[in-house]
Amino acid sequence: MLKKTKTQTVRKLILFLFCKKVLLLQGLVEFGVMNNTIINIGRQFGSGGLLVGEKLAKELGFGFFDKELINLASKESGLSAEFFEQADERRHFGFFGQLFRLGKSAIDGDLDNNYLTNNTLFQIQSDVIRSLAKKQSCVFVGRCADYILRDNPHCLNVFITANIEDRIKRVSERLQLTTVDESFLKKADKKRAAYYNFYTNKTWGAAKSYHLCINTSVPGIDETVKFIKSMLH
C-alpha cells in the first residue's frame, strides 16, 4: 500500500514538473525569450542612449548596432560607406539633397553616371536591420529600427531623454568641447527628428511612438538599464 502511494506521488510529481516546463516554455515564447528579442532605442543627443544600448547588449549578450550598420550596409550593397554616412539619420530636402552622385570608386564597376537617392540608402540599411534581427537578438540605436521592425512582435521600443544640463555635460566631455549649449543640442535633435518623422510618419520623441520613455537624469544610466531589462521578463 505504501509502495503504491509512493508510486502515485512520483507520477504526480513528474506530471507536475512536465506541465510546469510546458507552461514555462510557453511563457518564454510569448515574451520573446525563445525568439530573437530586439530592443530599439531612440534618443536625444547627449541623453546617454548610446551608453544604455551598449550596457544592455553587453549584459544580455545581444548584438549591438549603432554606426556599425553603416559598414554592414556598405558591405552588403558594395557601395562606399561615405554615402551612408552622409545620409545617416539626416533627411536632406530638395532635389540635390536627395541625390548622391556615384563616382567610379564608390561602387564596383563603371557606373559614373548613376545616382543614388536617400530612399535607396534607407532601404538598403533597412534590409540589413531586418536580416540581423532574424539572425540574433539585438540592440539597435536609432536608424528608425523601431519602424523598420514594426511587424516584429518581439521588439521593445524605448526612447531615452535627459535633463538639458546632463546632456550638455555629457556631450562636452565626449566631444571635448567647451562651446556646447542648448542650441547645439537642439540642432542635432532637429536632424534626427526630421529623419525619423519623414521615414516613419510618426513623431520622434513622442510617447505614443514607443513602448517606454525614460529620462536617464532621474534613475541614472545603470538603473535605466536594469529597468529596461526587467521589461523583458
CATH number at residue 214: 3.40.50.300
Residue 17 included in any domain: no
Residue 22 included in any domain: no
The per-residue pLDDT for 22 is: 42
Residue 11 included in any domain: no
Scan for cell 561602387, then name that residue. Answer: 107
Q: What angle do CA 19, 37, 188 make, to 5 degrees?
A: 155
Give me the chain's average pLDDT, please: 80
* Cβ proximity of 26 and 117 under 8 Å: no
Per-residue pLDDT reduced to its tens digit, 189-202:
999 999 999 999 99
Residue 103 included in any domain: yes
Asked if the model's pLDDT at residue 213 lies above 90, the reply is yes
H-helix segments, 61-109: 68-77, 81-87
| pLDDT band per the 50, 70, 90 thresholds, residue 233 | confident
What average pLDDT does range 217-228 have in this prediction?
Answer: 98
Per-residue pLDDT reduced to its tens digit, 153-191:
999 999 999 999 999 999 999 999 998 999 999 999 999
Residue 70 included in any domain: yes
Residue 72 included in any domain: yes
Domain of residue 100 covers: 36-230
Residue 152 or 89, more confident: 152
* Cβ proximity of 231 and 156 under 8 Å: yes
Asked if the model's pLDDT at residue 10 lies above 80, the reply is no
Rounded to whole angstroms, the Cα distance separating 210 from 41 reads 9
| pLDDT band per the 50, 70, 90 thresholds, residue 21 | very low
Residue 119 or 145, more confident: 145
Residue 20 or 233, more confident: 233
The per-residue pLDDT for 85 is: 76
Number of compact structural domains in the chain: 1
Per-residue pLDDT reduced to its tens digit, 109-125:
433 334 457 788 899 99
| Lowest-pLDDT range of 6-15, 30-39, 82-91, 147-156 | 6-15
* Torsion angles phi and psi, residue 140, rounded to 5: -110, 135
Residue 159 included in any domain: yes
Residue 106 included in any domain: yes
